Amino acid sequence: MASARSSVRARSSGPRSVRYSVCRLPLRRTNGLTIIRGMEEHLFSAIECLERVEDCDDALVSASQALSAGLAASVACQDLKSSFPAIVAELCEALDRAAPELARATAGEIPSKEIEVGIRALRALLSEAEHTDRRRRQLHVGLLSSQLNALHCRRELEKRGGPLPRSAGFDHLASQASTSVH
């Protein structure tokens, strides 16, 4: 991973007159480098999170964070594969390695078909430039990320005895909130 990171950073530094257009609009060097580094960090973050899927108890959270990071990069740049070929290849490999563990971690609570669609959507966003279904793919990735977070929260609440207990203080705050809206 360090070699991919250094090779991309080396490519990012160039003469001051260079203009970058890996994003939707051509950008001046200062703004462009900031955005490029941000996309690069999103991609590396996604790889690191996926590597944690196999090794930790929080596989759902790590996978959700990886999907969110990949999604953020895909929103900022439509052609990630051309802009960051080594990082995208590494991220796709990490997705392939993490997918079976993610299916096991969800234990069928998220249908395997939905997991597969979300992961395939992220792979497509990473490897294809412009596509008519790009927004739909982004929505599938966001949906899977949200489902993983929701499943994690449900499981953690169950470990702690279910939903928040209704107490007088909580009821009082809830009633204040409902009356202040009207």
Q: What does the alpha-carbon distance between residue 133 and residue 125 come to, in Å, rounded to a whole number?
A: 10
Q: Is the pLDDT of residue 147 over 60?
A: yes
Over residues 3-13, the pLDDT tens digits come to 444 334 333 44
Asked if 117 and 143 touch (Cβ cutoff 8 Å), the reply is no
Read off the pLDDT of each residue in 18-45 and give the average, rounded to a whole number: 61
Tell me which of 83-87, 92-96, 169-173 is least confident: 169-173
User: Between vectors from CA 161 to CA 159 and to CA 165, what angle results, nearest 5°?
Assistant: 140
For 111, residues 6+ apart whose C-beta sits below 8 A from its C-beta are none
Asked whether the whole model's pTM tops 0.85, one would answer no
Query: What gap in Å lies between CA 162 and CA 154, rounded to an integer?
Result: 8
SS (H, E, C) the chain: CHHHHHHHHHHHCCCCCCCECCCCCCECHHHHHHHHHHHHHHHHHHHHHHHHHCCCCCHHHHHHHHHHHHHHHHHHCCCHHHHCHHHHHHHHHHHHHHHHHHHHHHCCCCCHHHHHHHHHHHHHHHHCCCCCCHHHHHHHHHHHHHHHHHHHHHHHHHHCCCCCCCCHHHHHHHHHHHHHHC
Looking at 4-18, 64-78, 116-130, 139-153, which range is the least confident one? 4-18
Dist CA 46 CA 66 (whole Å):
4
